[in-house]
Structure 1
Amino acid sequence: MTASSDRPESAVGLWSIGELAEHAGTTVKTVRFYSDSGLLPERARSTGGHRRYGAEALDRLRLIRSLRGLGLPVPEVRRIVDERAGADGALEDAVAGQLRTLGSRLSALRWQEAALRLVQECRPDERADRLRLVGALDTPPSTAPLARFWRAWLPPRMPAASRTAFLDAAVPTPPDAPSPAQVLAFARLCALVSRPCTPDAGPTQPAAHASAGARESAVLYAGLAESYELAGHHIRAGEDPAPGDALDCFVATYARVVGARDTPGFRGGLARQLAADPRLDHYWDLVAELTTPEGGVPEPTPGTAHDWLLAALEGERAAA
């Protein structure tokens, strides 16, 4: 048997652990580790108790090393090499799972890098505040605090489907590769929604929530979503707030919720009510900072759309 052969030529057709390691281009220590892990079964033992491997062990060892080189954990490698039927499916599942794991790790590293740059590039007098904010973040970041805030803010009897649809619009998806400014915006968002409520802070929910049951809240937020989308088209076009399809949809939504007609008097009362409602402008400003690529144009948010519609309503009333 020569060192370049891939198959044993001895009378018994078995390799020692050293011979197998030599043919595989690895070390005896590596072969022993995979054997002890149960990944590489030995065919027999010599009279002196030394391991002996069959010809099939070389291909199995090469497969094991390839899978481990891709970062797959030992349990996944064992499942793949032991599976006879459907092995391609096991490999595809393992690779997909490893890609998800690596994606999460890479995202965490990018957030850590951007957070470090944020601290490095800020003024000395800002450093303590920056450290406090970014130190409270998970990596990759979790949007759970934002979702908890909105679940508590929405009408308690709101249908699950309507609640989910609103959360999808109100809770931003953090970018995978954030800039330092986006890390700061997200940290400030989490700090904003985590502040304790105090008795003297006043109401935090709009007046429309007070009497909104399941049906009314579903009507309210479905109609608002439609009017915000219509307003978004005007905002993207750079148009100033003005009466039109978006405002009509906006007003009609509030009218349906309370069972009223859309009249000039109703519009006047609605304008006063909405102007007196608690403001969440800072939340939406931070969302715009978080979701806008560096040098890009901010996309409309539910907050900016609401402000545009309220300005259009107030402008219409002033011109009447």
Structure 2
Amino acid sequence: MPLSPDGLWSIGELAEHAGVTVKTVRFYSDRGLLPEASRSSGGHRRYGPAALDRLRLIRSLRALDLPLPEVRRILDEDDGTGGQALEAAVAGQLRQLGDDIRALRWREAGLRLIQECAPQERADRLRLLGAVAAPPSTDPLARFWRAWLPPRMPARARSAFLDVAVPAPPDDPGPAQVLAFARLNAFVNRPCLASEPCQPAAHTSAPDFRPDALYAGLAEAYELAGAQVRRGRAPRAGEALDCFVAAYAASGRTRDTPYFRRALGPSLAADPRIDHYWELVAEVTGPGDGRPVATPGVAHDWLLAALTAQTAEAAA
């Protein structure tokens, strides 16, 4: 379409040349994204040739679902290519798209879970799924552990433990993983009954209790025991058990002796059990092929069994 004698287009001519409606051109003009070159004697908008390229760029950016404030920042970049504003906007859109895709995958797996379960199970599963978002938040799990862990535990040690104890929701879950995570959410939100202890005895011990020594040592012991669990080895004495006992001894500022080991086993066995939590964690994070998952709970039980066997053998 040729320009008029003054080298400008009317709003209708620009719209026709760009393949959009007059309403669209007016919308972007009114919001300051598409400046007009001048006004006719009758007050009608007039646009120069550069407006066509700018309008096409606006449409391309909007086709990427970029919001108007982001489009404005990109258009205001001096180099004419969007520069850092464009890079930041695209990166933000990619992050949002990733979140949306994960949410859709969780919704799909949740729908498949309802579709595939027996009719008599649907009400319970709908209740569980209704209590979590898609994808779910791990905040309830983290709050559970912050209440469980000793209050004087150093922030770095607490953070390191939470990294292990709070499973990240898988990006592409199966129905069984969605159900396990929903059950985890229900588990950590259940009230702690007054008739049962809510924390291990070690957390309520003497004022000189050292939670940093306990959890640093347990992390090492669990890693060593986890290697044994993954190999399918039965609980046994060795480096992992020695590290496990040493963690409890150091936390109480005492020594690892045969007497200490004999007393430690029954004390740990009497602690409140959260085995179901670790079973669900294994379902959420495991490969789903039947191989053992060495969660901290599984490693703890392996080590406690090794300690019990060792002390029983020593007493025989």
Question: 1:274-293 residue pairs with structure 2 within 5 A?
Answer: 274-293=268-287
Alpha-carbon separation, structure 1, partners of 2:112 and 2:206: 46
Q: CA deviation at 1:218?
A: 0.6
Match of 1:260?
254
1:149 aligns with 2:144: yes
Q: Judge conservation of contact 2:209–2:253 (CA < 8 Å) in 1.
A: no
SS in 2 for 1:271: helix
1:161 aligns with 2:156: yes
Question: 1:3-22 residue pairs with structure 2 within 5 A?
Answer: 3=1, 9-22=3-16
1:315 aligns with 2:309: yes
Q: TM-score, normalised by structure 1?
A: 0.93
Q: Judge conservation of contact 2:3–2:9 (CA < 8 Å) in 1.
A: no
CA 1:47/1:297 → structure 2, altered by over 3 Å: closer, same or farther?
farther
1:96 aligns with 2:91: yes
Match of 1:54?
48
Alpha-carbon separation, structure 2, partners of 1:157 and 1:296: 38
SS in 1 for 2:46: strand
Q: CA deviation at 1:48?
A: 2.1
Deviates more, 1:8-17 or 1:152-161: 8-17
Counterpart of 1:128, as a letter, is A
1:239 aligns with 2:233: yes
Aligned with residue 84 of structure 1, among 78, 86, 93: 78
Alpha-carbon separation, structure 2, partners of 1:31 and 1:212: 74
CA 1:215/1:83 → structure 2, altered by over 3 Å: closer, same or farther?
farther
Q: Judge conservation of contact 1:236–1:299 (CA < 8 Å) in 2.
A: yes
Q: Judge conservation of contact 2:208–2:252 (CA < 8 Å) in 1.
A: no
Counterpart of 1:18, as a letter, is G
Match of 2:176?
181
Counterpart of 2:201, as a letter, is A
Aligned with residue 33 of structure 1, among 27, 33, 36: 27
Q: TM-score, normalised by structure 2?
A: 0.94
CA 1:240/1:119 → structure 2, altered by over 3 Å: closer, same or farther?
same
RMSD: 1.7
SS in 2 for 1:278: coil
Gaps of at least 5 residues in structure 2 are: none
SS in 2 for 1:139: coil
Q: Judge conservation of contact 1:42–1:53 (CA < 8 Å) in 2.
A: yes
Superimposed CA distance per residue, residues 183-217 of structure 1 (whole angstroms, 9 cap, x where no aligned partner): 110110010110112212x1121111012668700
Counterpart of 1:193, as a letter, is V
Gaps of at least 5 residues in structure 1 are: none
Identity of aligned residues (%): 69
Number of aligned residue pairs: 313
Q: Judge conservation of contact 2:229–2:292 (CA < 8 Å) in 1.
A: no
SS in 2 for 1:52: strand
Deviates more, 1:46-55 or 1:266-275: 46-55
Match of 2:197?
203
Alpha-carbon separation, structure 1, partners of 2:164 and 2:254: 28
Alpha-carbon separation, structure 2, partners of 1:89 and 1:212: 56
Alpha-carbon separation, structure 1, partners of 2:4 and 2:21: 21
Aligned with residue 299 of structure 1, among 293, 302, 314: 293
Alpha-carbon separation, structure 2, partners of 1:9 and 1:29: 21
1:230 aligns with 2:224: yes
Counterpart of 2:94, as a letter, is L
SS in 1 for 2:210: helix
SS in 2 for 1:199: coil
